Homo-oligomer: A and B are copies of this chain.
Amino acid sequence: MIKALLSLLLVLVAVSTSLAKQEKIVPTPAVKQEKLLPKWGKRIPQTLSRGWGDQLIWAQTYEEALYWSRSRNKPLLVIFHLEDCPHSLLLKKAFADDMDVQKALDKDFIVLNLMYETTDKHLSPDGQYVPRMVFVDPSMTVRADIVGRYTNRMYAYEPYDLELLLENMQMAKKLLKTEL
């Protein structure tokens, strides 16, 4: 009797395993996102910061960011990233945790983080990759001269490059044109 039960159990385990295998569909990114969505009424509202610093005031779009940059005479930092890119995620964590970077941005910069490219080709001087950080002057000129340490991806930063980022922020504060 115990043997019969054990056999039945084994069969059941085998069946459920094979069922589980059949159900395991490799999703495309879009499907994956839809599946991961919690049900109506249980979703946490999306933030504009997307984890890059909840205490910063983020512009929503490039147009908005340019307007703020011009009207407040502050340089703009545009961050391109993706939520499923490990390099972006590591940089984001270091960036959000670095109080020197965060406070300096809050005081003297307009900030914008984007997961989709804009139509402005000037924002991708050496290609569209992530993570990528580009400074824009209040005179609406992309500061292609302010680069990271990688010659093949000049606007990429790694988590341990935040000191260089702070130096670059200092450089960006020296405005190209003092009168607009």
Contact = CB atoms under 8 A, between A and B. Distances in A.
Interface of A: 30, 37, 40-41, 43, 45-49, 54-55, 57-58, 60-64, 67, 71-72, 103, 106, 114-119
Nearest to A59: B116
Number of copies of this chain that the complex holds: 2
Contacts of A30: 71-72
By secondary structure, the A interface counts as loop
B63 A119 contact: yes
A110 to B, nearest CB: 12
Nearest to A40: B55
A58 B40 CA distance: 14
A64 B112 CA distance: 14
A40 B107 CA distance: 10
Contacts of A106: 40
Contacts of A63: 116-119
Contact of A49 (B41, B46, B117): B46
